[in-house]
Amino acid sequence: MSNPAPDTAARYVQVMHERHDVAREAAWLRTLRESAVARFADLGFPLQQDEDWKYTDVRPIERAAFMPLPLDAATPRIPDASQFRLDGVSGPRLVFIDGRFSAPLSDLGGVPRGATVTTLADALISQPQVLAAHLGRYIPDDSHGFIALNTALLSDGTFVRISAGTRMEQPIHVLYLATANGALLLPRNLIIAERDSQVTIVEHYAAVGEMAYFTNSLTEIFAADNATVEHYRVQDENRTAFHVSGVHMQINRSSRVTTHALDLGGRLVRNDLRAVLADSGGECHLNGLYLATDRQHIDNHTHIDHAQSHCTSREFYRGVLSGRGRTVFRGRIIVRPGAQKSDARQVNNNLLLSRDAEADSQPQLEIYADDVMCSHGATVGQLDENALFYLRARALSDADARDLLTFAFAREVLDRVRLAPLRARVELRLAAAMRRGAPREAHA
């Protein structure tokens, strides 16, 4: 069950009507938006009585009453956004500040012929038929209230379309910067990789300052036959931010989608990732690294649907927890009847660096076919005392030995990040957390 929350629903419905003249929108968009409003009015925010939200209490989000900024509000000036750039990456860059596109900080050069990289607001005008065919099509019918809220209030985000046979060699960097206290930010991204195409996208969330705000983002990925998509979601927001994200993808015949979920910040974070292997020969690779310190709460829910035969999935998530950090991992793999020759493997490992850290891991397999190879596993543990003794015996201090082993644990995921500038950024972020002393709390 979910919370109807009539007061909350009414408030957001009112905002929706104030922000959008639905009577002037295209019929398909009006239908999509109004359906989402009705669904949010019915569902409201999830309750912990809902099995999927058992360990994550979102009432602080509801109580804070975050609201979207006016569409005509001036975009704040950022004196220096260079700290958020990926050094050495020369591909297109889109920068959004508090949900609004910043042309001065963006660079849409270097887009090859056959590719479209623009804002969702622009695509609603320039490519309405394409959006009508894809936007909202890859979200499950049983979606929760946060998805409905994003759809009801969607106004901008990123649109990427790679036409058949086009290969983008340089990655697309999309930066969502938050600066406004009390803001509800609603990025909406649509990525379409047509037949035999290739693209890499970095979806990067960060903040300027320590204000409280709420990011509710939603990304849809469509990979046509023999397409290759590599998607990075880097969440490095401040310690008072709330973040709920959804990534929903459809993977078709012989196409391959790789996702990297890197969660380094936020106060309360919930990520839902759903991959549907919709035709034979499809592949999905899900990699995740999350770092929960202090009182951070990070919840990852993944769902891989082997809907057709001869498909492959690999899922590898690791978490590093210290202080009173808490994480949740619930990974579900379902193999449908007739999805023979499915090959699915899932691993979730968690490293606890303090007595008060807590990790809940629930890997799940549902198999309805008889000719498959499927496995899953989960671990929650501490640093190996024998390894610590070995390193200390070789002149390393106790703190350095712990940092080295923690870094080695995280590298199992970091080595899968093929973008060297991004990998270096995450490594520095992890090292900074260790220098603050968080991993040494276990024996403090």
CA–CA distance, 357 with 363 (Å, rounded to integer): 20
Consecutive 10-residue averages of pLDDT for the chain (444 residues): 55 72 81 90 89 94 88 71 83 94 91 96 96 96 91 94 96 95 96 98 94 97 98 95 98 98 96 98 98 94 98 97 94 97 97 94 95 96 93 90 92 93 88 56 38
Hey, where are the domains in the chain? 6-279
C-alpha distances in Å from residue 308, one per residue of 136, 273, 281, 313: 22, 19, 8, 12
What's the pLDDT score for residue 443? 39
The answer to whether 35 and 22 are in contact (CB under 8 A) is no
Please choose, from the candidates 346, 342, 292, 291, the residue with its C-alpha nearest in 3D space to the C-alpha of residue 316: 346
What's the pLDDT score for residue 444? 34
Q: Which class for 333: exposed (0-12), middle (13-18), buried (19 or more C-beta within 10 A)?
A: buried
Please choose, from the candidates 196, 168, 208, the residue with its C-alpha nearest in 3D space to the C-alpha of residue 83: 208
Q: In terms of DSSP H, where are the helices of 182-237?
A: none
Q: pTM of the full predicted structure?
A: 0.94
Q: What is the DSSP letter of 183?
A: B
What's the pLDDT score for residue 8? 64
